[in-house]
Each structure stands twice: as C-alpha cells, then as structure tokens.
Amino acid sequence: MIFLWGVCSKVVAKNKILGRRKIAAESLSQIYREQEETIEHVLQQCDRTRAVWFGLDINYKVQKDQVTCFDCWLLDIRKMVLSTKADGTKLFVLIAYTYWIIWKEKCRVIRQGKMSEPDKVVCRIKQAVQERMMIVDSERKLESADPKKENVGRWMKPG
C-alpha cells in the first residue's frame, strides 16, 4: 500500500520526472526507449504490462487512450467496487500486488537486462495475492470469533 501511496503522490521515480529534474539523461522508458516513461506507461500502458493485466483472473484489458491519470483510474475502480456493495478486498489486493510486482520486474530488468515472460509475472502476482488473502481471511476469522474483543491494533477517532 505504501507503493500505491508513492505512485499517487508522484514520489516514485520515473524517467519523465527524473529527466525534468536533470537527474536522468532522458525521459524515455529505460527498457524499450520508445515512449516517455510515466507511471501510467510503466504500470498500465506498456505492451508487456498490458499482457500481465490481461493474464490475471479479471482479464482486464488496458485501453491506452483511456488511462490518462493513474490516481483517477484507481479512484474509478474504487467507486465501481463500492457501488456494487461487494467486498472489494481481493480486487484491491490484486491491484496493489500487480503494480508492486510490475514495478519490481521493471527494476529487475534494468539491473539484470533480461525480461521475464508476462505469464511468469502473472504467476508471481497470483501467488502473492493468494498468500495475502490467506492472511486477510485469518484476520477476519479472529475478529468474528470474539466480537466483544477490543481492536487494539486499529486507530480510532478520539472522543
């Protein structure tokens, strides 16, 4: 979740921003050197990341022209989930881990110079989501087992 906060707060380093600050020599993507490296490009619009998104259980196909602002897209997804009254926990966990693992893959490619196939990235994402959802489920069971128990670990508004 901290990574998503960093992305939405525009503190995650991308070549577009680094180039503007004269830290990077160019603003192009370090992998293909074809398009400007924005967070939207790295996490959603790049052909490899689009293949990852499509390979997930939600079969999400990124439309390049519809992704103009990362945080706007994320808010739209949140509104959609809230409007259905469904438990969006798994979807948000999937989104968070997908972005994080895509980012880690991009960094690994830059360091090591070799790319993983999108289906291997999808497998890593699915495994991470499955592990996280097991933790979420066990936390929910603990909370429902003793409803009178005070939630010590959660912040509550004073007063």
Produce one character per residue of 17-56: b if its CB has 16 or more CB atoms within 10 Å, e if not.
bebeeeebeebbbebeeeeebbbbbbbbbbebbbbbbebb
Report the pLDDT averaged over residues 57-68: 70
- The pLDDT mean for the chain works out to 76
- List of residues 6+ apart from 143 with CB closer than 8 A: 149, 151
Q: How many CB atoms lie within 10 A of CB 127?
A: 12
C-beta atoms surrounding 111 within 10 Å: 8
Q: How far apart are CA 17 and CA 41, in angstroms?
A: 13
Q: Which residues pair with 36 in a beta bridge?
A: 28
| Segment 114-128 mean pLDDT | 90
Stretch 120-144: mean pLDDT, rounded? Answer: 91
| Pairwise CA distance, residues 95 & 157, whole Å | 29
What residue segments make up the domains of the chain, in order of their start? 2-144
pLDDT band, residue 29 (cuts 50/70/90)? low
Of 39-53, 66-80, 87-101, which gets the smallest average pLDDT? 66-80
pTM value surpassing 0.85? no
- The amino acid sitting at 34 is E
User: What pLDDT score was predicted for residue 147?
Assistant: 60
Q: What is the C-alpha radius of gyration for the chain, rounded to an integer number of angstroms?
A: 18
